[in-house]
A and B are shown apart, each in its own frame.
Chain A
C-alpha cells in the first residue's frame, strides 16, 4: 500500500512540475478568434463564417493570419468567458457568432479598446467604437427561394423543415412563405424545436413527402437528416446558409450561401486604418454576401429559372420587392 501510495505521490509531483513549464510567446500575426454556439462543420451558420475566415487566411497565408475558435458555446456564461479570454490573450478580432452573445459583448468590449469585436446576428453595436455588428438578411434569400421552389414544384406543394421558430431561421422561412405564396404555391412548415434532432428532422421530411411535397428546404445542423430522406425518395432540396450540395449531389438544386468575406474584409481593412468598429453590416444580395449557388455541376438546370432568380434578387436590391409581407 505505502509503496503504491508513494508512487502515486511521485507521479503527482512530476505532473505538477511539468505543468509549470511556460509556453512560448506568440509571433506578430493577425489573430482572429471565433466563438460559436454550434460547430465549424454544422452545414449552416457557423460553418459559413468559419469558411469565410479560411478564405481570408488562404489569401494572406497561414503564417500571417491565425484562426482559433471555441465551439459548442451554447452556454452564454461560457461564451462570455471565452470572449473575454480571447480579448485578454491579445487577439486582434474577436467574433461572437451568435445572437445570444449581445449582452456579453456590450459588457466586455469597453474593457478592451485595443481589440475589435464583431457580433452576429446582432442588432446593434451599442454605440461602441470597437464593436461591429453583422446580420444576414435571410428573408431576401427566403423570398427568392420560395419563388424558385414554387417554379420547380409540379403540384405546388412545398415543405419547410425548420428547426425552430426563431432567429434567421424564422426570417428565412417567413421570406420563403411569402415568395412561394406570391407564386401560388402552398407551403407547410414543421418545427422540430431542436437544432440537433437529426432523426426527427428526417421524420419531418418524410411526412412532408408523404403529403405530396417534393420540394423541401430547411436550416440548421440537423438538416442532413432531412436531406437524406429527400435523396432516398428523389425529391428536390434547397439548401440554406451553407453549401449542402455535397450531402446529396443529385437532389440539391440550389444552395443559398452566406458569404461573409466581403463584410470581414471591410471590417479588417477598417482595422488597418485604425477604425475598430462602430458599424453595422447586412449580408444581402446587394453586397454579394447572399449568393445563390446552383448545382449546375450535377444537374441540368433551366437557364430561365436561373434568370428568374437573378431577376428577383435584383428587384430586391432595387427595392421593387419587399421580401417580407407588410406588417
Chain B
C-alpha cells in the first residue's frame, strides 16, 4: 500500500504505459494521415479487428510473425480501399461510413474466427521481448525502455518518420494542402482524389497493424472484439493531438499511463472503487483537452471534395 512511490513500481507503471500505448500509436498515426488529408475515418476499430484476426490466423497457420504483420497490413489496405471508395469516390458521409465499416469489420472478424478456428481461443508465439545490448542492462531504465518487443520499438520509431513525411516532404505538403484547401491544391495540379486515397490506405495499413499488435505482439491470441473500443479512442487521440505526430505520442502515453496507474493502485490495495478508477483515463483526457488550447483542425476535414466546375 505504501510502496506506490518505490522505484520499481514507478518504472513498472511507465513500462506498462509504454506497451499499452503501442496500438494507440499505430492506429492514431494512421488516423492522423487520414485526417490531415481531410478524411475522417471512424472505421478504425473495424479495420483493427480484421487486422488482429488476419495476423493471428496467418501466424497460427505458418508461424511466421512477419507474414502475420504483412497479412494485417494487406487486409488493412483493403479495408482502407473500401473506406476511400465510399468516402472519396462516393463522397459519403464519413462519420457514418466509418461506423458501418466498424460494424462490418468487427462482425466479419468474429464470423471468420467462428468459421476458420471454430471459435476456440488459442495462443501463438508472438513477438518476444528484444533486449537492446548495453542499454537494456541499465537497472530500471533498461527494463522499462529497452526490453520491449520489436513492434513496440517500431511504433515509437514511426513518430519521427510521420513527422518528417508530413512536414518535411513534398508529399506531406500535398497532403496538408489537400486537407486545408482542396480547391487550391487542385488548381495547383495536386490530385485531391489520389492523395486522399493514399492517405486513407496508409491509415488502413497502420490500423491493420495496430490490430495485429493485439493478437501477435501483446496478448498473442485472438478473441472476438478484443480491441474493445481502442479504435474509437485512437480517433479521439488525433483530435487530442492537435494533428501533430508528437501530440499523438503524448496523448497515447497519457491515456495509457493513467490506465497503468489505476491498475497498479488496485493491485496495491489503494481503496478506490474500480469503476471510478476505470473512468480516470477518460476524464483526464477531457480535462487535458480543455487546457490545451489553440488547435486547428484541417479545414476540409470530413468534407468530400467536389470539383466546382462540374
Contact = CB atoms under 8 A, between A and B. Distances in A.
Interface string A168-204: 0000000000000000000011111110111110111
Interface in A196-255: 196-200, 202-204, 206-208, 210-211, 213, 221-222, 224-225, 228-229, 231-232, 246-248
> Top 9 A-B pairs ranked by shortest CB distance?
A191-B274, A190-B266, A198-B226, A41-B119, A210-B12, A197-B228, A207-B263, A193-B278, A188-B267
B274 A211 contact: no
Contacts of B122: 246
Contacts of B269: 188
A101 interface: no
Contacts of A228: 123, 219-221
Nearest to A198: B226
A248 B274 contact: no
Given A198-B228, A231-B123, A190 B263 contact: yes
Contacts of A199: 20, 23, 214, 218-219, 226-228, 230
B258 to A, nearest CB: 12
Nearest to B260: A203
Contact of B223 (A190, A204, A222): A222
B268 A188 contact: yes
A159 interface: yes
B27 to A, nearest CB: 13
A263 to B, nearest CB: 25
B54 interface: no
Give chain A's interface residue range (CB within 8 Å of chain B): 35 or more
B38 to A, nearest CB: 31
Contact of A191 (B121, B214, B259, B275): B275
B224 interface: yes
A193 B228 contact: no
Contacts of B267: 159, 188, 190, 204, 207-208, 211, 213
B264 interface: yes
Contact of A202 (B120, B218, B268): B218
26 contacts: A39-B224, A43-B121, A159-B267, A165-B274, A188-B267, A188-B269, A190-B267, A190-B274, A191-B266, A193-B278, A196-B223, A198-B219, A199-B20, A199-B214, A199-B219, A199-B228, A199-B230, A204-B263, A204-B266, A210-B8, A210-B9, A213-B267, A222-B223, A224-B121, A224-B221, A231-B123
A246 B16 CA distance: 27
A224 B119 CA distance: 13
A231 B23 CA distance: 22
Given A41-B121, A204-B267, 11 more contacts: A43-B121, A188-B267, A190-B267, A190-B274, A198-B221, A198-B226, A200-B259, A210-B8, A228-B220, A246-B122, A247-B123
Interface centre among B20, B267, B268 (most CB of A within 10 A): B267
A207 B121 contact: no
B246 interface: no
B221 A207 contact: no
A203 B23 CA distance: 14
Interface string B137-170: 0000000000000000000000000000000000
Contacts of B274: 165, 190-193
Interface in B206-236: 214, 218-221, 223-228, 230
A173 to B, nearest CB: 12
B16 A198 contact: no
Given A188-B266, A203-B16, A224 B228 contact: no
Contacts of B214: 198-199
A208 B268 CA distance: 9
Contacts of B263: 190, 200, 203-204, 207
B209 to A, nearest CB: 15
A48 to B, nearest CB: 15
Contact of A39 (B12, B119, B123, B230): B119
A206 B264 CA distance: 10
Interface in B14-33: 16, 20, 23
Interface string B98-141: 00000000000000000000011111000000000000000000
Contacts of B259: 200, 203
B16 A206 contact: yes
Nearest to A211: B267
B220 A189 contact: no
Interface in A31-60: 39-41, 43
B150 to A, nearest CB: 16
B228 A196 contact: yes
Contacts of B9: 210-211
